[in-house]
Amino acid sequence: MIDKEKLSIENKNKFTMQMAELYSELINNNSFSAPAFSRELHLILQGYTLNPDPYKDIKRLSNEQVLQMYPELKNTIRNSANPFQTALRLAIAGNIIDFGIDNQYDLHTTINKVLTEQFAADDSQALHNEIAKAKTILYLGDNAGEIVFDKLFLELLKHPDVYFAVRNQPIINDATIEDAKYIGMDKIAKVISNGYDAPSTILKHCSDEFLEVFHRADVIISKGQGNLEGLLGKTDKNIFYLLMVKCDVIANALGVKRGEFVVKRNKLKFMKIAIASGKGGTGKTLVSTNLFWAAQKQGYPVTLVDCDAEEPNVAEFLGGQETFGITVSQNIPVINADDCSFCGKCHQYCAYNAIVLLPPARFIQVVEELCHDCGACLVACEFNAIKEKKKITGRITGMVYNTHAELIEARAEIGVYSPVPVIKKAIAETINHDLAILDSPPGISCPFIATVVDADFVALVTEPTPFGLNDLKLSAETLQVMGKPFGVIINRAGLGNEDVFDWLKEKKIPLLMEIPFDKEIAEIYSRGGLIAELSPKYREQFTELLKRIVSNANK
């Protein structure tokens, strides 16, 4: 690219100094990304070559090399048992083209490898499902040559509304509009620029034209590491990353090994969504179970926690094979009357009146049902008269629903004063998945507080009746005091009056969804079924509900 021997002594020293500074910035500045490094490197090369596209010949050679393979690759897809999988794998194989220096890569070996090797992360089925129902697809291209493989994949899809985005202007060997048109991409997709002159897609630098398509697209397919670095963790859009992992930084971010192939769906940040109501019977569990079903159907790793520990019933609708069981217990003080001085300090320290003391009768006893396991009485006792024993208060049961969805049931022992410890323990078990849906106990007492306290968003389920509105107001006031973002779902809409709608407008509280008073729902629910599973109409509505909740939670 640059023959240093042809540079003057002054320019040679200047070039060496610039490269040293650039590499020092990459090593010492954690916020200096690889795309930013590539952009600065390209500008340096442009300055010495006076060539706006120093890699033009290399890009043309890459395009022509793969175009020569195009008929053979087309036949490979056509004759395969699963054309979608084959075309997808070939698209990922093309990502090898920027894997070497001076074209030092073996494309044929990579193709054979990617066609037979298991993906390190494989969300390809979810991608297939999303493409099938998408109105608009945005495909983020990467390198010249590689885009011929992308063309093969998009030709197979035959989707009527596909946008193919490339770089705004020449940058290293990334594809531009000129490259895309050269290989005929404009014949099967609308070719646009992302408006940015770095080998990445960093939204704050992209053009308004690109952002309009980006936000409108139902599915976004992102090729290569550069696009991933610009988008990963920056947006909740429905993005699928297709790439060969080429560095340890990206490998660690994705939890895979360098050199492995990946089809990875954009992860939601870990989010807890609580579904609550001011009273029982409003349809809270109806919403929780169907939202869970819609989330797992979308391919999200999701956990549904039944936090109504005094009367759990989620498993009756969803089932699942038990995978683990945890016994929950608490410490209960045991007072030895022989060692007790009956000074009354433990009685005074107990905030829950769980210790009954009658000094004249030298009588002292713990009411186990009132004890909250705070340990204050042990601190108060100066005579070492108090020990502790374990008392079982409940059980946590984990159940697998499918490969990326599970249920967790909190069940308190009969007669336990408070189910809060059991609820907290159940919620603590949600760390394995990106999304947790918490089916809250009804009301606004301690079990409700324990469920919503760490939630990122609360959906309050109510009904359009005077009782429903009254309980909704109490729940809303509680959440406002706690500083929790929330919205409202109105169940049995059309049954009562319009007061609840008027109140939501007055208070500017988001209305997330209306579930009508519908005979179809009653029939499905009476059989223990899920309306999102058995009714296409409600499946779409609960899918939209999830998107709406995530959007409101991120405001």
Residue 30 has pLDDT above 60, yes or no: no
Quote the pLDDT of residue 4: 46
Residue 66 has pLDDT above 90, yes or no: yes
Residue 88 has pLDDT above 50, yes or no: yes
User: Model confidence over 273-289: pLDDT tens digits?
Assistant: 999 999 888 999 999 99
Task: Give the residue, 433 or 318, on which the prediction is more confident.
Answer: 318
Quote the pLDDT of residue 46: 58
Task: Give the residue, 237 or 12, on which the prediction is more confident.
Answer: 237
Residue 1 has pLDDT above 60, yes or no: no
User: Model confidence over 316-373: pLDDT tens digits?
Assistant: 999 888 999 999 999 999 999 999 999 999 999 999 999 999 999 999 999 998 898 8
Mean pLDDT of 440-445: 94
Ramachandran angles phi, psi of 335, nearest 5°: -100, 125
User: Model confidence over 469-527: pLDDT tens digits?
Assistant: 999 999 999 999 999 999 999 999 988 789 999 999 999 999 999 999 999 999 998 88
Q: What superfamily would CATH give domain 271-327+395-553?
A: P-loop containing nucleotide triphosphate hydrolases (3.40.50.300)
Residues in the chain: 555
Residue 418 has pLDDT above 50, yes or no: yes
Q: Please report, rounded to a whole number, the percentage of residues in the chain having pLDDT higher than 70.
A: 86
Quote the pLDDT of residue 471: 95
> Hey, do 56-265 and 271-327+395-553 end up sharing a CATH topology, with the first three levels equal?
yes
Quote the pLDDT of residue 15: 59
Residue 105 has pLDDT above 90, yes or no: no
Six token digits for residue 217 = 């697209």
Residue 25 has pLDDT above 70, yes or no: no
Residue 54 has pLDDT above 90, yes or no: no
Average pLDDT score, the chain: 87
| pLDDT interval class at 26 (50, 70, 90) | low
| pLDDT interval class at 19 (50, 70, 90) | low
Mean pLDDT of 387-396: 95
Quote the pLDDT of residue 250: 81
Would strands 219-223 and 271-276 be described as parallel, antiparallel, or unpaired?
unpaired
| pLDDT interval class at 553 (50, 70, 90) | confident
Quote the pLDDT of residue 53: 79
Residue 538 has pLDDT above 60, yes or no: yes
Q: Give the domain ranges of the chain.
A: 56-265, 271-327+395-553, 331-391
DSSP string, 51-113: -S-TTHHHHHHHHHHHHHHHHHHHHHHHTSS-HHHHHHHHHHHGGGGGSSSTT---HHHHHHH
Residue 43 has pLDDT above 90, yes or no: no
Quote the pLDDT of residue 95: 84
Interatomic CA distance for residues 273 and 551, integer angstroms: 12
| pLDDT interval class at 18 (50, 70, 90) | low
Domain 56-265 CATH class label: alpha beta
Mean pLDDT of 433-446: 90
Could you tell me if 200 and 35 are in contact, meaning their C-beta atoms sit under 8 angstroms apart?
yes
Q: Which of 19-28, 147-156, 217-226, 368-377 is predicted least confidently?
A: 19-28
- Those residues whose C-beta lies under 8 Å from the C-beta of residue 89, and which sit 6 or more positions away, are 114, 115, 261
Q: What is the pTM of this model?
A: 0.57
Could you tell me how far CA 498 lies from the centroid of its own chain? 35
Mean pLDDT of 231-251: 82
Give the burial string for 424-458 (b: 16+ CB within 10 Å, else e): bbbbebbeebbbbbbbbbbbbeebbbbbbeebbbb
Report which of 12, 202, 217, 48 is spatially closest to residue 133, judged by C-alpha positions.
217
Q: Which amino acid is at 248?
A: D
In sequence order, the β-bridge partners of residue 191 are: 164
Q: Which CATH fold topology does 331-391 show?
A: Alpha-Beta Plaits (3.30.70)
Quote the pLDDT of residue 331: 93
Quote the pLDDT of residue 7: 45
Interatomic CA distance for residues 337 and 461, integer angstroms: 51
User: Model confidence over 244-261: pLDDT tens digits?
Assistant: 998 877 887 777 888 899
The CB-side HSE value for 431 (13 A sphere, CA atoms) comes to 4
